[in-house]
Each structure stands twice: as structure tokens, then as C-alpha cells.
Structure 1
């Protein structure tokens, strides 16, 4: 018997639209080049060391990022790329670090649109096996990530 893989129902989702003062290809690179990604990925006060980043940028490829808090505690975030369409779209799964069952946590769809040399970044996260309170916390965390991304791009957009 053949069929499509089981995907659980979405239990919480949200969209964030953020305009970045950088060209679309540079924003895409910030998401997909480990050297750039290390500068901004994580909330304020956290670091993402290069040693903890791996990106197999192709559908089915795995991404990983080790995020370190102020006290040195490490948290691994990871997932699988589902779509890679440079520089316009990136779709990937991302897990919940507190999930010990291995169940799919969420799917992120990142759409980048050129708006006169700036980039409109539309970030949509559909959560599975979660609730609205967790989704609100996740959304707040991503907003901090995106503030750091904007700060990073403003510092040195030519080199990332």
C-alpha cells in the first residue's frame, strides 16, 4: 500500500512580516551561510558559535545550530530543509528543544520579497503538537532573532 506520509494537524501558527534594509540575496545568505548565521541567530544575549552550525542546504538536508546562553548552557536547534529556492524562499522544519518524543514541532516558511532594494521577510511558522501559549513564546523569541538580524545587516551589509 502506498500513500503520503502522515503529517499531524497544525495546532498553532502565526506570521511575522519584517522589512530589512538589505538586498534579498544578502538576507537569504544570512539564513543559509553559517558564517553569517552565527552573527544573529538566537535571542539577545545568546551566541551561536560556528562550531555548532551545520547546514546541508538542499531539500532533505539537515540544519543544526547550537545556541549558548549567558551562563554557557547549550541548546541544540535543528530541522530539515523542505524547500530551497534562493533567494526567494526557504522552508524548513524546526524542533522544540523540550520535545523528547521526536515528534515534528513546526514548519517554517520564509518568503523574501524585494521592495526597492530592501527585503520584506515573511516568516510563517505552523506548529504541531503545541499550544497557543507556546506559539506566543516562540513568536516573541523569533522577534528577538529578527531584531538581531536587522542589527547585523545594518552593521556591515557588504560582508554580513
Structure 2
């Protein structure tokens, strides 16, 4: 059995696209307000901190479906409210942050297209990250549908 992992020249990217029933400003608020983010992103209440500006830090302790908790930390690389957010995520053992990009495009007064993506070093990392991003988008979609406010 080989344990060698191959990296494509440009990595292993993914992009998930959804259309949400909310204006871009509302989606942005849900993604950048700690109290709201914790409600839909499977975060431990009180664990989310966000300094939403380029270079600002963020952290959250996430809960997995099996109840395990794991801390995430990083910084904001790019902030263009309410259309683009680029997050750097610290990964143990990696010298550089992994970046996740969030793009919001208005598709009418009450609809927003969201594209969430990142590039990973291996297909396995990409598959895990894509699954996690899908769970995030599912939670965000439910949160917005419920009309929750922070």
C-alpha cells in the first residue's frame, strides 16, 4: 500500500454554490457576527471571536456531528463587505494558512448567490474540507430560513 500523496500543480480546489433567500447584507451579517455565526455554524456558544478586518483574528470551537469539539483559529485576509471575504485558517503542522473564499452576489432584492471554496494540498483534504463547507452552507441556509436575528 502506498502512502504517497500527490499534489496537483494548482492543488485540489472546490467551490460550492447555493442561492439563499436573503439579501447579501443579511448573509454577510450571519457570517461575520459571532453570536449569529455560532447559531448556524455548529460552534460552541461563546467560543466565537471575530475581528472582521484585513489582518484581524478569528477563532471558534466547532462541534462535529459525533459531539467532538475542535478549535479553529485564523485571520481575515480580505474583507470587502458585503461581497467578498477571504479567511486564513491555521492548520497544525502547516507553515502557511489555508484560505477559504466566500463570494456573495445579489440575485434580486431578497436572494443571494454564495460561492464558498478553497484549495487543498491533497484530494483527501479537499474532500474533507468540501464536506465541512457543505455542512456550513446547510446550517446557514436553515438559519436564514428561520429568520433568526442576532
Give TM class, smaller chain: 0.7 to 0.9
Gaps of 5+ in 2: 1-8
> For residues 67-88 of structure 1, what are the alpha-carbon distances to aligned partners after superposition, in whole Å with 9 as ceiling and x for unaligned?
1346653201121101111111
Instruction: State the alpha-carbon separation in 1 of the partners of residues 41 and 90 from structure 2.
Output: 15
Within 2, Cα distance between the matches of 1:105 and 1:10? 16
Q: Give every structure 1 segment of 4 or more consecutive aligned residues whose post-TM-superposition deviation is greater than 4 Å.
A: none
CA 1:155/1:124 → structure 2, altered by over 3 Å: closer, same or farther? same
| d(CA) in 1 for partners of 2:65, 2:73 | 20
Match of 2:16 in 1: 16
1:102 to partner: Cα distance = 4.0
Question: 2:138 matched to 1:147?
Answer: yes
TM (norm. structure 2) is 0.85
Tell me whether 1:28 sits opposite 2:28 in the alignment: yes
Rounded to whole Å, the distance in 2 between the matches of 1:89 and 1:71 is 32
Residue 113 (structure 1) shift: 0.5
Cα deviation for residue 126 of structure 1 reads 2.0
* TM-fit CA distance, 1:38: 0.6
Change (3 A) 1:70 1:16: closer
Distance in 1 between residues matched to 2:80 and 2:15, nearest whole Å: 20
Who is 1:4 aligned against? none
Q: TM-score, normalised by structure 1?
A: 0.80
Q: How many residues align?
A: 141
Q: Given the alignment of the two structures, is residue 135 of structure 1 paired with residue 130 of structure 2, yes or no? A: no
